[in-house]
Structure formats: structure tokens, C-alpha cells
Structure 1
Amino acid sequence: MSERKHSRWPLVGLVVAVVAVVTLALTGAAKHVPGLEFIPSGHWVANSDLGLVVRVDGATKKPDTQVSIPGLTPGSQVVQDESRGYVVGEDDVTIFGKSTLSVEATVPTPVKGERPVPVQTAGGAYLVFRQSGKIARLGLEAPQVFSADGPVGPPVATSDGTVWVHRTDSGAICKAERGATSLSCPATAPAGHSGALTVSGDRVVFVDTTADTMSVVEQNGFGPPAKLGVDAPANARIAPADAAGKVVVLDPSGNRMHLVEARVDEKGALAEQRPPARTVPLPAGDYDGPSVSGESVVLLDHKSSSVRTYDNQGRQKHSTPIPPEKGKPELVRGEDARVYVDGAEGKHVVVVDKDGSVQPVPVVGAKPDEPRQPVPPPVAPTSDQPATRPPETPVAPPNTVRPVPPPARTNQAQPPPRTPVPPPAQTPPPIPVTPPGMPQNLAIAITTQQVDATVTWAAAPANGAPVTAYHISWQSQGGRSGATTVGGTVFSHVIKGIWQGTDHPFTVTVVAQNSAGRGTPATASHAPPQRVKKINLTKGPLAPECDRSDCYWMHIVMTGFAPNTRYTVTPHSTSPTYENGGHGITTDEQGYAEFNAFYYNVAGDTVWVTTGGVESNRLEWTE
């Protein structure tokens, strides 16, 4: 009987909890119940000027929650697990609750004098100190510290909550599993080989930059190696995760990036038959990364103070400037698989979405009309008083009609009943109007004539006031530029003749404006349409200049050549005695030319023409 009673209690508790939660949700009281509601992950940023850590929602690109941290120092990092956030300073770690939004404890920093790499996984919040080889799992108590006994490379994590590191001196591949109390090292790279870890298909892969191979890390060693297909230098940097099956290898000294196919088959091995690696040239820069947001590759260029994103085929998507702050920004991959670029002072964070779009967000704290206050705890009991909660306002049961007694009989006139005067409505403080956010999804499309460009974008976040205008400007590397302004409800513009007479790429900038001023600009670049040079040769009309009646011109059509350019076209023949110095022609603004030249009269010979390294079709001459 007792066994039956005990087995029913969890079900009864669950039913009571569900009913309570539903009731609270319907009455609006379920917002702030400690222990039941936790703030979604998002991305937390420490702003020492405000004395706050602020959560930026990666989906809405807005700050929405804040926690006051006493003594917050500049450069503090924030990492989180399911229920708590950890503010990591030079000397201590401040722990706050994500349900209470208040400080719960302070513990010493696990390793002094070394800035850690924060890691957020399903297994918890970690700090990886690469130089000393220490890995700290954070919690409400003092951090649990594991030692790899030597320096480690950049950490990676798998979906089961395991954190992996590579010993850069001994080559050991070690892991801290969820809930484990020590490290285990199932594999070791060959002695003297450099490399780094990544994750593809949720399998850990070691990229050996000495042998230019990659291998899946198995339970007891490595799987079969697969060739990278590129020459990766010893200082190559590897993205912590794949971009839709492509391992990203950055060659920082060569200003280029390699995208290597690395899909893992059903048996957990790298597929042998793979397409060749794609090499992407990069502008000269000082790069951090690479990292991956969704299927997009993210690079942080300190030289140009910009974030560059590419798709997994190597096509550039966006290049966006970083708001200026003192110190170097940092590239962080969040638990939501988005990439965030944190300003050194915590005043801005740049959100890189999974489609490669980029949005700078000012860190200004939560809106004043959206407070998040926890429910007060029970009052502590005294020696002669039981614990109590703050008094609650009684609420009449629904659909209950209270009987009203008849009025007392009296001979005197009764004053009319008083109508209760409602208290004055509390007007929330106004939300400050700020300049608009970045226009979304900026894109450039070419016309069928390959001369004009159509620029499109989506609405920018208004930030408290309607967007009244969008300012569009463009600049070609060849010096051609222009600007225009459209209304706040217009989301496209055609740039006429941007490629007319030029082959130079160009950059477009779109910035929104409201009553507070102009906002963060969006930029996009586009190379000119790919020109395919082609020469078509046919037999033309009779040539009156020839002293024979069977002479005909060669008819020549050139397409895809450089516009407004002078070329010398030279004819050729299978006849060993044929000679001709050629004919000069200038292409039009489309790189097109059509003309008659080089009369010919020997049937059976084969003729063709060449210019600019391009050869026409070969034509057998007829009578």
C-alpha cells in the first residue's frame, strides 16, 4: 500500500504543478515565478559603464533583460548554463540567477592572469584556459577544474555536452564529458604534427595541418585519414564547426580561406569520394576566426574593423563595419549557433545570423516599461511567528453574484451612492527614440543586360519612431559613385549603368533614418557579371575590294570582351602561304563588336581568327 501511495505522489505533484502553471498563465501571474521561468539563452554582454550585464536576443537583435553587477570591471566575460549566468572578471566569478535576475554568489576565478575561452554546451558552462591547459566547469559552488597537463588549442563542443581540446605539445586529444570528474584522452596526433579540432556532423574531427589530412576522433584513436586537397600552413585556423558539411580552414598569412568537404558517413568515417576543396581569396587583413553561424562563415577583420560573412560555397554575403570601441572586439559562438562580436567595452554587440546577415546592436539595457521583478520570498519566521508571505489581494470567484440587501426604510432623503474613483493610471516612462537599426537582407541583382543593378532590402528596426527615409550610396573600385534617397516605405532601387563601360566591382550602402537620426548602415558588394569571351566566324558578303568575283568577307562577331577596348583581330588559314596583318576594332560599352574583314576565295581551306587569347570557331571555306 505504501508503495502505491509513494508512486502516485509524483503524478499528483505534476498535475498540481500543471494546473498551477496554467492558472498563473491565464491570470498573468506566471511571469516571474522563481525556479519555473528561466530567461532563454540569448547572448549576455558585460557593460562596465552601466554596471550591467545585458542579454541581447539573437532573434530580435534587441537587448531585453539586464542584471546589475556590483563592481563590474571592464573586459568581463559572460558565460551561461541552463539556469545561471557567470560574469568572469580578473579576480572572481559573479554568479546570477536567470530566473531571479539577481546575484547569488561570488567565487574566485579558477586561473589568475589568463583570459579564458568561454564554452557554452548542453552540459554546462566552461572556461578553457589554453596556456595553462585548465578546463573549469562552472556552477553555484567553486568551479570544478580539470587539467590537460599542457597547453591546448581552441576548444570545440558536441551536442551531448562534451568539451574537447587538443594538446598542442603532445598531440593528445582530450575530452571533458558531461558530468565527468576528470579528462580522458582517446587519441593522440603524430608527434610534431600541428593541427586543430572541429565538429562535422556532430563528430569531432582532427585537421592535421602537417600531413594535410583530417580524421574522425574515435573511441580509441583516429578513423581513416582523408586528404584535405589543399596545402594548410602550420598556423592555419580551423572553424569550431562545419558550415553545412564544409570544414573552414583559414590561411591568415596567405589571405585566403579553404572550404573542404567533410561529410561523415553512416559508419562515422569521412567520405572518400568528395568534391575538390574550394579556395577563396580574401582582402588583405588581420583576421580572427573563422567561425560559423548556421551555414555561413564568419571572419573578423581587425585591419578594416569589419565583419565579413560568406556562404559555404565561398561567395561573400556581407561586409559590415564594427562600431568603434577602445580595445579589440572578440568573436564568440553562442549556444544558439549564432556568432556574436563583442565590443571591448561592452557597448555594442554585432549579431551574425545564421543566413550570414549582420546587425550591430547597442548595449543599452532593458526597456524601462518591461521590468522583470521576482516574486518576493517568504518572510523569515521569528521564534513565535510562523513564516508568512506578503499579503495577497483576494479575488472573487468567477461567475459569483453577491446578494445586495434592500435599502433601509427612512423618512429622510438618502444621498446618492458614491461612485468609487479609480486611481490615476500609471503612465510608463516613454521608450527613448533611437536611430533605426540596420536595413535587413540587403541584396544586389544584375539585369539581363548586365549593365544595371537592382538593390533590395527589408525594413530596418524602427527603434521608437517611424523610418522616414533610406539613403542609398554606391562606390565602384573604378571610381564611379552615386547616391540617392527614397521614402521609408520603399525597399528597392535600380542603379543605372553601374557596369556600363567598366568591369570593376562596387559596394552599396543603405542606411535608414528616423526622427532621431541615421542608423547603422548595411553594406553589400557585387562583382561585375562574369564575361565569357567568344568569337563567332561565318562567311560574309561579297567583297568588292577583291579583284576576283569569288571573294567573300569573313563575318566576325565578338561578345563578352572588355567594353570600350581596342583589339587587333588576326586571321589564320590552313594555307601555308596565307598572311594578313590583322584588323583593329573597338568594342562597345557592352564589350561587343561585329564587322566584316579579311576577304577570302580558296574553297576547301579552313580559316579562323584570334584576338586577346581567344580563338574563334574554325570554318571550312566554300565557293
Structure 2
Amino acid sequence: MTAVAVGTVLVAAAFSGAVPPVAGMQFHPTGHWVYDTALQTAFHVDGATTNVDARVPVAGDAGSQVVQSDTDGYVVGGSRIVRFGKSNLKVQSTVVPPSDEVPLTIESVGGPYLVYRQAGKIVRLGTSPVVIPTGDRIGDPVVTADGTMWLLHSETGLVCTLPKAAVSTNSCPARVPAGHSGALTVIADKPRVLDTTAGVLRPINPDGLGAGLPVGVPTSATTQVAPADAGGKVALLDAAKHALYLVDPKTSGSRPITVDLPPGQYDGPLSGGSVIAVVNKTTSTVTTYDIKGQRTDSKQIPVTTGAPKMTRGADGQVYVQDGGGSHLLVVGKDGKVADVPVATEPVPTAVPSTSPSPGGPASPSAPPSPSAQPPQPTPHPEPTTNPEPPAPPKPPAPPEAPASRKPPVPPSAPGAPGAVAASAGSGSATVTWNAAAANRATIGGYLVSWSGGSTTVAGGARRATVSGLTNGQSYTFSVAARNSVGLGPAAGSNAVTPAAAASAPGGFTATASGNDASLSWSQPNLGGGTLQHYTVTASGIGSRSVAGTSTSYSGLRGGQVTFTVRAVTTVGGRTMTGAAASRTVTIAVKNPKIFISRGSDTHSSDCKSPNCSWINMRLTGFAPNTRVELEPYANGHVFSEPCVTTTDSSGAATCDNDTRYDVPDTTVYVYADTADGRVQSNTLYWERR
């Protein structure tokens, strides 16, 4: 009971301002923050009670999202990321995002993260945010309990890892087969790849993807996969067929559950414990289901400006925010959906009254007027012997004019604009503000001024873009409103420094020697920023930070390797990644290998069941883009149905369903004759079935 009482006092203090927040107080990362654009305020909603228990005034962009760590919250918009403290409920710092793309937000161990999927960048938020380039576009990442983020590269199909606190991906243990699409999920805290082309859930092993399990439903590149299982079931959404599938990933041949959905465009699915939630954007509805596919609840999302946002919080619950941030729909652990109106009008500051309240004495805080006198007793008239006649009565005074006829208060110059803020671009800056008080005369315009110039925008404007600025030079801006009376007081912005991302490094060369490669380049135009380091990426290997203008690699695998180098600069607290220079080299082939395994059963006129099966073949380390003929050998001689295949750019190839064998109790292998000699596979004992 003591803990509850203390928490109640702190929340009340945060709202009323009567008591300052206790230093070092932390919100446990439960519940969810939502940003109300109209009120320019972030609200915290407790996930268990659905109470609004904290709020922070923050100047932000329309449609901003909020994510949290243990100690801080972050209002994330297209032009700025604002950090505030959850203990003192005050804004701490502002940075510029690396892209204007709407990011995927992830609250997890080691995070929170912002994932800019099209830009190929991940931001780990903190006191000093870190921008981690991935090298190309990525799908929706997933995170396991140890804080490792798993990434699936859209172009190469590589599955790579980003460990907690790492500044680059450190390994890529698997690759989706060429020509296949895929998506990531987590089942029992183990990452899995759904090969949406083959319809198979595959485990991620240290040496590649495992065989996996067919999901038993049609899948395609547009299939949407929940990032985590719900009570052991994996939720798949086929938006084109308006179908939600619940798949058991543990039991081969188990029948999936199919849930027919109403027509519409969908977001999701997201799982919270044993609950699955989807959002129908067409009807603006959130609907929940249990792991048996039974609908548990459905709730209308209030229709406001912008699209609703669906997220999974750090507490594992699903939250849906309306477009304007005035409502938050909380999906409970039982699947019930609660609509929490978070937009409330600010409580006006109390002003002590100087007049008595109805039926009671005047406020003790109102001192008596100095001119007020205590009541005097009425004197009794003295008797007189010669009384004078009474004076004629005075005519009554004219009545006072009613309040409605009093002269109106004349207009005055406007007040100062609120929440003036600036964000930098390349040779430009964007200045935003809240409306100034009009003071009884319509605001006709706003004057935006800076060292070197000024501009006037319309009275309804709330932002202005200033161009022609010098990259690398610091600027502050002031904004003042003007009405028919005159120009009101100005309010100033934060200081910003315009800058451009660095150009591509010049003179980039990449030279291969055996299994090694040497890289060198020259410093590019830094666009007004300060060079921090270069990010060098090797395809299939990952990225590294380099201080100078050269680096080298050793022990590379055979095949083609593409290297890219980018300059990373900082200016005004922002980190910027420059344009890339790329070179591709071919590494000499070393140690070609063939691995065979027994595939699925088959038959032909000469190959009888149940002992007739395909021989699956995997090639690595061969010459890239080269034709290879694989000869099967068993029972003392080469037999029919050789496999002919062509390796890819990395020297790898697959040959399945080309070669059959059906003589049991015999040792089988395959071989290939290459320019460097014969390469023989492992041997396989063909057991009788």
C-alpha cells in the first residue's frame, strides 16, 4: 500500500504543479506515451488502469510518435526528435532525424530504436543518439530478449544481427534463397524467417537457414507477419484475401486456423501475450482475436487528421493511437479494447479572489482595500426649538449605463508566438511556432528574422522555410506577429547550423589480391560539417568505422564483393551520413565444397518407391557465375541423371530434384571436375525404407 500512495502523490504533483517531481524518479517502462498534436503535449497512459498519469508539454511535428526508454521519452517527428526526462517531465534536447521517412518504432532491451526501412538506417535513441547504416533497404526487424536485433536485407536477402550497444551489424549467418521473399518473426524468443515464396518457416542456424516447417497456407511477398508469436501461434495476414491465419510452428502437418476478415486495408497483425490485433484502416476499426481465432473485441478508432498508428509497447501490450493523438486504444491482456481520451483542456491557473464567495466570507488572501472604513453608527438628531422646513428632495441621479454599454476594450498589438523552434536543412532552415494572442485584432502576418535577413508570412502560417543560408554557420530566428495596431514582441528559436550531407568520397579504389582486398579514397566535400569517421560496408560481411582514408580486408570468401564508403559528419548536434562511393572486386575461389543430403521421396519407371528419393546438392566456394556439372556415383559406377547448374556471384549454387537414386544399403556421393581439379562431396549411406 505504501508504494501505491507514493505513486499517487507524485502523479498528483506532476499535474497540479504543487510539488516538484522527486529527483531520480523513474517510470517503469510500462504503459504508452501518445503525442497530442493540437495540445503540443505528450501524455502517458498506464496500460493496466488506462489512466492518464503524466504529461509533458513538447513542441513537435504533427503526427509525431512517442517511444520510451527506462529514463527518457522521445517525441519523434519528421523534422525533429525531442527527448524529455520521465523523472522531471522536462524537455532535455532536440536532434534532427536522419530521414523524413516515418520510422518503425521499437521499444526493447538496448533501445528504443527508430527503423528507417527505406533509407536503410537505424537510430538507437539515448542521450547521444547513434545512427547505424545498414547498407540497403531492410524489412521489419525483430528483437530477441537479449537485445539482439535481427535484420532482413530487402535487396540481398541477408539475415544479419545488430547486438545490443553495437554500432554496426557484426554477422550475417543466413540468406534467403535467391529470388525468394521473406519476413522475420520471433517464436519462443528464437528468430525465424518465413520464406513467403516457399511458404516455409525456417530456423536461423549459425551456418544458414534450417529446413523449416511448411505453414500450410498460401503466402506471398505481401504476407504480413506478426513480429512475435501469440501463445505459441504465428499470426499471418493476407490483406488481398482479407484473411488472418494462425499457424502452429511446432507441429508438422497441423491445420492452420483461418479467420475471414471484412474487406479493407489492414495494419498488423500485432500480438500482445495471447491476443492478436489488427487495424482496418478503411473502417478505422481495431479488432482483437484469441489464439483460437475467436473475436474478443472490436472498437472504432476516432477519426482525426492523419492515419492511426499501431504499436507494441515495452510492456508487451498493443496500443493504437488515432491520427491526431487525442485518443489511445489500449488492448488488454484479455483482448478487450479500452478507448482512452487523452486530449484534455489545460487546467487554468487559479487566481485568488478579492470578493466574497457566495454565502461565505471573502478570501483570506484578499487584503482589505485601504479606502475601506469600518461602518459608523447612525447619529440621533438633537431636538431643536425652531426646526427649519425640510429641504426639497434632490432629483434622482441618472442611472449608470449597463455593463454592455461600456466602451469596448481597444485592440492592442499581438502577443508573442509560442513554441518557436528551428530545424536545419542544407543551406536552409525551417522555423515553426504556435499562434500568438491576437488581442482583439486579426493577425495579418508573422515577421521571421535572422542575422542577414527577414521574411513575412501570412497570419495563418505556422512555419516558414528560410533558404540561402550558409552551411556550417549557426543561426537563430525570431518570430513576431503583426496586426492592425502594430508588431508584437518577438520570441526566439533554438540555434541551428545548416549543413549538407557529405558528397561521395573521391578516388575510391578497391584492389583484390588472393583472398585480401585493399581500399583507399580521398576526403569529399563535407558540406559544412565536421568529419567524424568513414563507414565502410562490404557486401555479405557488414560495416566498420574507419578514421583515415584507407582500410583492408583479409580472408575473404571467393566471389564478388561490393565495397561502399561514406563520410559521417556532425554539425549542431546532428549526425549526417554522406553519399556513397562503391567498387566491386572478384576474390579468387578457394576451398570449393559440395554437400549432399537425401531429399523427398519420388519415383520413375526405373526408380521405385519407397527407396527412390531425390539427392539434394549444395555448392559453396566455386568460381562465381560458372557452369558446374555434378556426376552422381554409387555402387561402383557413375549413374544417370547428372545435375548441371550455374553458381551465383558468390560461387554458391543449389541443385534439388534433378538426380534420383533408389539402391538401398549403398554409399552415394557426387563429384565435379573443375579447372582446379576434382571436387567430391560428402558420402551418404542410402538406407533401406
Residue aligning to 1:192: 179
Please give the alpha-carbon distance, in whole angstroms, between the structure 1 residues aligned to 2:138 and 2:78.
21
Aligned residues of 2:34 and 2:66 also touching (Cα < 8 A): yes
Q: Please state if 1:91 is matched with 2:70.
A: no
Among 135, 138, 160, which residue is 1:174 paired with? 160
Please give the alpha-carbon distance, in whole angstroms, between the structure 2 residues aligned to 1:291 and 1:104.
32
Over 3 Å counting, the alpha-carbon distance change for 1:26 and 1:327 in structure 2 is closer
Over 3 Å counting, the alpha-carbon distance change for 1:48 and 1:39 in structure 2 is farther
- Equivalent residue of 2:112, what SS? strand
- If the length of structure 2 is used for normalisation, what is the TM-score? 0.47
- Equivalent residue of 2:107, what SS? strand
Residue aligning to 1:381: none
Q: Please state if 1:211 is matched with 2:166.
A: no
Aligned residues of 1:261 and 1:274 also touching (Cα < 8 A): no
Residue aligning to 1:611: none
Name the amino acid aligned to 1:176.
L
Cα offset, 1:31, TM superposition: 8.5
Residue aligning to 1:152: 138
Q: Please state if 1:137 is matched with 2:116.
A: no
Q: Which has the higher contact order (CA 8 A, sep 6+)?
A: 1
Structure 1 runs of 4+ aligned residues shifted over 4 Å read 24-31, 365-369
Residue aligning to 2:556: none
- Equivalent residue of 1:124, what SS? coil
Aligned residues of 1:64 and 1:365 also touching (Cα < 8 A): no
Please give the alpha-carbon distance, in whole angstroms, between the structure 2 residues aligned to 1:27 and 1:108.
36
* 1:20-419 map, 5 Å: 32-38=21-27, 40-70=29-59, 72-111=60-99, 113-141=100-128, 143-184=129-170, 185-262=172-249, 271=250, 273=252, 275-364=254-343
Cα offset, 1:160, TM superposition: 1.6
Over 3 Å counting, the alpha-carbon distance change for 1:272 and 1:339 in structure 2 is closer
Aligned residues of 1:121 and 1:162 also touching (Cα < 8 A): no
Aligned residues of 2:303 and 2:323 also touching (Cα < 8 A): no
- Equivalent residue of 2:197, what SS? coil
Aligned residues of 1:39 and 1:98 also touching (Cα < 8 A): no
Cα offset, 1:36, TM superposition: 4.1
Please give the alpha-carbon distance, in whole angstroms, between the structure 1 residues aligned to 2:8 and 2:331.
36
Cα offset, 1:220, TM superposition: 3.4
Cα offset, 1:274, TM superposition: 5.5
Cα offset, 1:347, TM superposition: 1.1
Cα offset, 1:229, TM superposition: 1.2
Aligned residues of 2:26 and 2:70 also touching (Cα < 8 A): no
- Equivalent residue of 2:132, what SS? strand
Aligned residues of 2:214 and 2:252 also touching (Cα < 8 A): no
- If the length of structure 1 is used for normalisation, what is the TM-score? 0.52
- Equivalent residue of 2:173, what SS? strand
Please give the alpha-carbon distance, in whole angstroms, between the structure 2 residues aligned to 1:218 and 1:338.
30
Please give the alpha-carbon distance, in whole angstroms, between the structure 2 residues aligned to 1:27 and 1:58.
19
Please give the alpha-carbon distance, in whole angstroms, between the structure 1 residues aligned to 2:195 and 2:230.
19
Q: How many residue pairs are counted as aligned between the two chains?
A: 346
Which runs of 5 or more residues in structure 1 are unaligned?
1-20, 263-270, 370-422, 426-623
Name the amino acid aligned to 2:45.
V
Name the amino acid aligned to 2:140.
P
- Equivalent residue of 1:86, what SS? strand
Aligned residues of 1:286 and 1:303 also touching (Cα < 8 A): yes
Please give the alpha-carbon distance, in whole angstroms, between the structure 2 residues aligned to 1:233 and 1:284.
19
Aligned residues of 1:289 and 1:331 also touching (Cα < 8 A): yes
Over 3 Å counting, the alpha-carbon distance change for 1:178 and 1:339 in structure 2 is same
- Equivalent residue of 2:83, what SS? strand
Over 3 Å counting, the alpha-carbon distance change for 1:26 and 1:249 in structure 2 is closer
Please give the alpha-carbon distance, in whole angstroms, between the structure 1 residues aligned to 2:234 and 2:291.
9
Cα RMSD of the aligned pairs, angstroms, is 3.2
Please give the alpha-carbon distance, in whole angstroms, between the structure 2 residues aligned to 1:179 and 1:323.
39
Over 3 Å counting, the alpha-carbon distance change for 1:272 and 1:98 in structure 2 is same
Name the amino acid aligned to 1:328.
A
Partner deviation per Cα, 1:201-239 (whole Å, 9 max, x = no partner): 011111111011001223332233111111112211001
